[in-house]
Amino acid sequence: MAAGFFISKTVGIVAIVLALGAVATIIALSVVYAQEKNKVVDAGTTTTTTTTTTTTTTPGTTAALTTTTAPPTIATPSHPWNQWRLPTTLVPESYEVTLQPFLTPNADNMYIFKGNSSVVFVCMKDTNLILIHSNKLNYTLQGSFYASLEAVDGSRVPRINNTWLEIPTQYLVVQLNGVLRQGRRYRLFTIFTGELADDLAGFYRSEYVDESGVKRVVATTQMQAADARKAFPCFDEPAMKANFTVTLIHPSDHNAISNMPAINTWQQEIDGKSWNITEFDTTPKMSTYLLAFIVSQFSYVHTSSGDVLIRIWGRPEAIAEGQGSYALQVTGPILSFFENHYNTAYPLPKADQVGLPDFNAGAMENWGLLTYRENSLLFDNAYSSIGNKERVLTVVAHELAHQWFGNLVTLQWWNDLWLNEGFASYVEYLGAAAVETSWNIKDLMVLNEVYAVMATDALTTSHPLTFREDEINTPAQISEVFDSIAYSKGASVLRMLSDFLTEDVFKEGLQSYLHTFAYGNTVYTDLWFHLQEAVMKSNVSLPDSISNIMDCWTLQMGFPVVTVNTLTGTVSQKHFLLDPTSVVERPSTFNYTWIVPITWMTGKTTGNRYWLTKVTETNNQFKVSSPDWLLLNLNVSGYFRVNYNQENWDQLLSQLSTNHQAIPMINRAQIIDDAFNLARAKYINVTLALSTTRFLSQETAYMPWEAALNNLHYFQLMFDRSEVFGVMTKYIQKQVTPLFYHYKNITNDWVTIPSGLMDQYNEINAISTACSYGIVACQDLATKYFHEWEKNVTSNPIPPNLRSSIYCSIVATGGEKAWDFMWERFKEATVVSEADKLRTALSCSPYPWILNRYLQYTLDPNKIRKQDATATINSIASNVVGQPLAWDFIRSNWGMLFSQYGGGSFSFSRLILSVTRRFSTEFELQQLEQFKADNQDIGFGSGTRALEQALERTRANIKWVKENEETVLTWFQGEVAPS
């Protein structure tokens, strides 16, 4: 599954006015990543609570959940049905599932589906009990019971004594008056009804309005992690693989698709209406969480890759406009890349990919029927930016990577999820690079994955990649495993592993693993075993076994800072914590030491990899003397930070100021990012960190600029209401002006688009930073575009890549007239990515009355869609003028906001995070504590942890500002003083 909330480079980067340059990326990294990836399937699985929805029942035939009979004995935790995990007594072999979704509401104004299912299972051990997962389904009685049972060979079976629904643990329980015999096969048959709710989980409904204003309803699925049981009763654990034969009964003017191709369709009259019945081919052996089926009026574009049919589905108007063509163009080449990478043919006859109007995660890798948020699959050349394009490419590659790793070979239980998602998050870059060869997209892992997750992993509240199996039991616990540690740290350590093994050895071990366990289940150590075998065959020399090396990266949280002294050659490691005073309470058998692979170079030579295996060692090759310098962790292939003695820092800074290109591009970004983080953690002075940005006036590469803007953004949040910001603005103007003119020249006055991905991203940085920090030439450019657009509203002259930044500048400098113009454009926008850019830019106004009016609009779903309300408030809060208004708004409307969004939405925790990010005074801390006290009765829902983090962060900010304000002011003054 791909990450949940996506803020594109361009939408994100604008989230500000007046003073806000790099804001978005930081929003994208720290907020979206930490909070969203954090809870990718949250809404999918938190719906599996103990509450039951009362679905409609036909009197006399279907028993409602609320009237089920309790078991005859009083339930105690020792009963199997009180355990969250299935017993191992029964193993499913095959299912036949028939479902009929009703796409118009019934007499009670509810959307429902009807279904029946038969599952064949093998008895592994004599038992008189059948437990099968079921959630929010109502069963039609067969005789007196919810199910019927027969033996596959026709022999006699024990009679059913009792059936009931065990709501807390989500089971249908069948008690027998005799035992099922080991080795025998049985068939359990059920007839049921469920609600086709709009809860984005299980079998659910998604709605959209077509071109002629008609509401259309789609019936679609999201089973991961524990919601197949909401669609039909099943053994809903990933190791319980089986073959599935699905039949869908649907209106004749709708099409039906599932994991496998349709093999038969016919029409039939049911209850006086004509329905189509579509029967699908039987799936290979697979897990329940990968099952999918969709009934819609979508259309598609198609092509073939070898024998594999590829189709991109979406709303008919989006497909007619060509929004599926980019995904269609890249899918075949990515499939071919992975077939080669895994040395295994794509296991299914087709790959359908569907863009859905309502979808909780970023995307989902259902086998052969992949589902996406529209913004992760559909791309419109006329409106979408390069960031939107990169999003589509990497998410498609991520989901296709899972078709083998995850789907063909599946992890046994959710405690090892990091290997599934971390692996896909790593190889998505390889798949993407194979298609867009000029993008150098693999380099972006350092910013998007490594540095993004280090921010979380440097806290004492982080956790190891691997959990013990018994730590993860409930649907809520499963959902919490889908976080940035699983995805991005998983990707980062696998990238490191592939780097020190070499890609060829890594591939050989991977291929052997996939061939050995095809259609089966594994634990993460199985991969280590196969990689170790590949190492034995190769000439790669390692200081220890793969298992021992990797254990210290997967079984303990955090990562080291490696400190080297070039005068003595000593090199040492220490657990890196952003707050040096914080206390680590989680014990580690490795005592927070790691086996660290260190690549290195000096100004004269590149050395061989050095392995740091103890806390402190001496390596004479690390002794260098002035003016030479030492640089560790080339291309940031290792998951650690690096600190040096002052003399070496001085030599690196000197090299950057004289000829920065002598240092590899990724390492120029590393020097900046490591320095700012080391300063936060008090390893070095804040002035040393700031000094790493001096060379940027000569720099045109994206990654060093992005690292600097990300880190300076914190300074902006802390100081944009103080005198520091005046001189800081002058410094940033001085640094960014050459970059702005560099792009003005190479694009012939913003007419042509730079060729590479990174160049396009840095052009966006140049415009965004220059306009928001008040460079007149940039603001004039925005005004010129605005006047052109006003003259011909139907012809937008602004290049899609620059829209977010230019829109923000137009709103920031154009007054009420510009705001009203952009609001009209927002209301008529038909492409989602365009509407998002306009909606975000509307928060860039410097006028409190306009921002307050906009805050009120978020309460009116006719003005701002409900799903966009919290994101809009967050954008307003990121504006220095809007922040206190948003804080007042949230405090005065807390009860109402909480009732609307408090239950399970992650955007709620983002709301608290966004509105408190500038808090850095005792007074603001008091307000926050008062807010907590005042609303204890209402509660904070999914924002509870965010509120605690906001209090902790505010205290840290107060301390940081006290310690650094004077020093930072003096440094900036020295930099901008007339020389």
Active site (catalytic) residues: 399
- How far apart (Å, rounded) are the C-alpha atoms in residues 571 and 632? 11
CA distances from 942 to 31, 94, 658 (A): 14, 38, 50
Going by their DSSP bridges, the two strands 610-612 and 600-602 should be labelled as: unpaired
- Eight-class DSSP state of 448: I
Compute CA distances 973 → 131, 190, 723, 970, whole Å: 71, 76, 11, 5
| Cα–Cα distance, 522 to 238 (Å, whole number) | 10
Sorted by sequence, the CB contacts under 8 Å of residue 871 that are 6+ apart come out as: 839, 840, 907, 910
Q: What phi and psi, each to the nearest 5 degrees, are found at residue 692?
A: -70, -10
In sequence order, which residues have a C-beta less than 8 Å from that of residue 405 and are 6 or more positions away?
A: 342, 420, 423, 424, 427, 510, 514
Distance CA 131, CA 170 (A): 10
List Cβ neighbours of 470 (8 Å cut-off, separation of 6 or more).
none
Which amino acid is located at 7 in the chain? I
d(CA 204, CA 218): 8
DSSP H/E element including 375:
none
Distance CA 494, CA 199 (A): 34
Residue 779 and residue 636: Cα distance in Å, rounded? 37
Residue 546 has phi, psi (to 5 degrees) of: -55, -40
In the 3-class helix/strand/coil scheme, how is 482-525 assigned residue by residue?
Answer: CCHHHHHHHHHHHHHHHHHHCHHHHHHHHHHHHHHHCCCEECHH
Pairing of strands 185-195, 112-123: antiparallel
The 3-state secondary structure of 587-603 reads CCCCCCCCCEEECEEEC
CB 822 within 8 A of CB 812: no
Residue reference for tokens 């009963």: 79
Spatial distance between the Cα atoms of 179 and 159, rounded to a whole number of angstroms = 9
How far apart, in whole angstroms, are the C-alpha atoms of residue 440 and residue 304? 27
Q: Which residues contact 811 (CB under 8 A, 6 or more apart)?
A: 17, 818, 819, 822, 841, 842, 844, 845
Residue 237 is given by DSSP the state S
Closest CA to 572 of 640, 628, 639, 626: 640
934, with CB counted inside 10 A (0-12, 13-18, 19+), is exposed
Separation of alpha carbons 401 and 426, rounded Å: 10
Distance between CA 48 and CA 45 in Å, rounded? 5
Measured in whole angstroms, the distance separating CA 88 from the mean position of its chain's CA atoms is 33
Cβ atoms of 513 and 506 closer than 8 Å: no
Beta-strand ranges (E) seen in 124-242 are 127-133, 137-140, 148-151, 160-166, 171-180, 185-195, 202-209, 215-222
Phi then psi dihedrals of residue 277, to 5 deg: -120, 120
Place of tokens 């490691």: 573
DSSP for 915-943 reads: HTTT--SHHHHHHHHHHHHHTTTT--GGG
